[in-house]
Amino acid sequence: MNKKKIIVTGSCGFIGFHVCKCLIENNFKVIGIDNLDNYYDVKIKIRRLNLLRKDANFKFYKKSILDRSLNKLVSKIKPNLIINLAAQPGVRYSFKNPQKYIDTNIKGFLNILEIMKDNKINKLIYASSSSVYGNSKKFPSRESMPLKPENLYGLTKIFNEDMAKFYSQKFLISSVGLRFFTVYGKLGRPDMFIPKVINNMKKGKIIDLYNNGNHHRDFTYVDDISSVINDIANNLLKSRKSNHEVFNLCYGNTVKIGKVIREVSKNLNIKPNIRNKKFQLGDMYKTYGSNRKISKKYKFKNLIDITRGLKEVIDYD
């Protein structure tokens, strides 16, 4: 039987890499697209790419999702499904370079939707974010709650959800939007808290703790994210309905970030060197999601907790 073809944009990124790996292991043919953007060290993206390239069921194209010529490539590939994980991520950077968020997250996403419409590809999974909730007072955050983002990044994700819904209603593109909550795992993003803590502790460098460490996060292990995406992909490929749905994708608990530092310190047997810093504009005090909606529809159990997840990441490094 012919393998189904899935295009994954942002394939050299942190989540994209793990999703590609998981889809290949689950018998899909995966076509990765990434422009190897230099928002963080490109070496880690090349490392991920080289690991993916070891498998004959993975093909890669260095291209931007903003590039109109992507249309020709997609029409040649004729994928059964597109997973859009290419984006400009990061909260603090959205205050420095807002234009990049509009370009990649809005114009790039629009290009993907238009290419799908032109080529009659009608199944899409895309990344949203817990940033859409902002600083709400009620927890756990549920999909039905009001959205009040604290930064432009979160705003672009809300617009992505609206765009996907519009294209599903008008052009019958079935889509699933996933609000990821602080994802961590092997070969993680060097601009994020957990990789920074591990790297700085190993090198004896200072670890900056914003808001004096009074932040809570719903840390979600990347392998849990990729296995749910694999399940959603299988489900979407079988479905004949045109629909648009949005789900939280989270561990479903919250951890004070001081606990992360203690666990990393215990695993590495190194004393941390901490510098307290004030609250940063656009940050969220706490994230804590409910995964009730997604767990009713998709395989979602035995999630990896922070203690086990951190150990796996540190042992891999």
Ligand X SMILES: NC(=O)c1ccc[n+]([C@@H]2O[C@H](COP(=O)([O-])OP(=O)(O)OC[C@H]3O[C@@H](n4cnc5c(N)ncnc54)[C@H](O)[C@@H]3O)[C@@H](O)[C@H]2O)c1
For residue 217, give the nearest of 251, 266, 244 by alpha carbon: 251
251 interacts with ligand X by CB under 6 A: no
86 interacts with ligand X by CB under 6 A: yes
Please indicate whether residue 298 is annotated as part of the active site.
Answer: no
110 interacts with ligand X by CB under 6 A: no
Q: Which of 182, 227, 248, 287 binds ligand X (CB under 6 A)?
A: 182
Distance CA 200, CA 193 (A): 10
Q: Which of 93, 133, 153, 167 is catalytic?
A: 153
Distance CA 200, CA 198 (A): 6
66 interacts with ligand X by CB under 6 A: yes
Q: Least distance to ligand X from the beta carbon of 305, Å? A: 17
303 interacts with ligand X by CB under 6 A: no
Phi-psi region of 114 (alpha: psi -120 to 50; beta: other; left: phi over 0): alpha
Q: Is the dihedral of CA 306, 139, 158, 23 positive or negative?
A: positive
End-to-end CA distance of the chain: 38
129 interacts with ligand X by CB under 6 A: yes
37 interacts with ligand X by CB under 6 A: yes
Q: Least distance to ligand X from the beta carbon of 244, Å? A: 17
Q: Least distance to ligand X from the beta carbon of 264, Å? A: 17
Distance CA 293, CA 279 (A): 32
Q: Per CB under 6 A, which region of 50-58, 80-88, 167-175, 307-315 contacts ligand X?
A: 80-88
Q: Which tokens go with 247?
A: 């789900």
180 interacts with ligand X by CB under 6 A: yes
Q: Which of 8, 21, 30, 35 binds ligand X (CB under 6 A)?
A: 35
DSSP secondary structure string for all residues of 58-105: EEEEE--TT-TTHHHHHHHH--SEEEE------STHHHH-HHHHIIII
Residues 6+ apart with CB under 8 A from 135: 148, 150, 284, 285, 286
What residue is closest to ligand X based on CB? 13
Count the residues in the chain: 317
DSSP-based three-state secondary structure for 125: strand
Distance CA 168, CA 214 (A): 40
* The residue type at 282: G
93 interacts with ligand X by CB under 6 A: no
What angle do the packed helices 193-203 and 306-316 form, to 10 degrees? 50
Q: Which of 8, 30, 74, 85 binds ligand X (CB under 6 A)?
A: 85
Q: Which of 24, 87, 91, 155 binds ligand X (CB under 6 A)?
A: 87
Q: Per CB under 6 A, which region of 29-37, 132-140, 265-273, 281-289 contacts ligand X?
A: 29-37
Find the binding residues for ligand X in span 198-237 (CB under 6 A). none
Q: Least distance to ligand X from the beta carbon of 193, Å? A: 9
- The nearer residue to ligand X, 1 or 173, going by C-beta atoms, is 173
- The nearer residue to ligand X, 66 or 270, going by C-beta atoms, is 66
Q: Which amino acids are annotated catalytic? A: 153
Could you list the residues that contact ligand X (CB under 6 A)? 9-10, 12-16, 34-37, 45, 64-66, 85-89, 104, 108, 127, 129, 180, 182-183, 189
